[in-house]
Amino acid sequence: MSAFEVASYFWKGFFFDEMHGESKYEFRQVKDEVEIVVQKAISKVIDGQEYDHIKANDCIQNVLKVCIDELKQVSTNFKFIVTCHFQQRKGAALESHSSVYWDEDTDGSCVITWESSSLTAILYVYGLAL
């Protein structure tokens, strides 16, 4: 392989997301897919389960692990941060705020809410372009 071919391969891998067949360096390009992946991950882990405060921590850790594992497959051009709130459905309010300093053209976030009869899970996903 010539030096030119090696350089071309490197830049192709750096600027071209081979999993999707196109370059994706803006979060808005992957946001819909991120939301779908996270919804599926939540369902995979907690679908059909009742809220149990004893098991809540383990359940949250499992949800976060599955989310991160799946998000790594969405695009290698981002670092992902996922936070998760579990709340028993008893009519209590939950307010959460965040502030970020990032590149608005490439970075982004989304909020995914999943509800069952006994619990609400709210996940915040932040995608930071590399």
Over residues 54-112, the pLDDT tens digits come to 988 999 999 999 999 999 999 999 999 999 998 888 887 878 888 899 999 999 999 99
CA neighbor of 86 nearest in space, from 52, 130, 47, 111: 52
Helix/strand/coil (H, E, C) string of 83-130?
Answer: EEEEEECCCCCCCCCCCCCCCCCCCEEEEEEEECCCEEEEEEEEEEEC
- What domains can be seen in the chain, in order of their start residue? 24-90+102-129 (3.30.1140.40)
pTM above 0.85, yes or no: no
pLDDT tens per residue, range 36-61: 999 999 999 988 888 888 988 999 99
Buried b / exposed e over 23-62, threshold 16 CB at 10 Å, is ebebbebbbeebeebbeebbeebbeeeebeeeeeeebbee
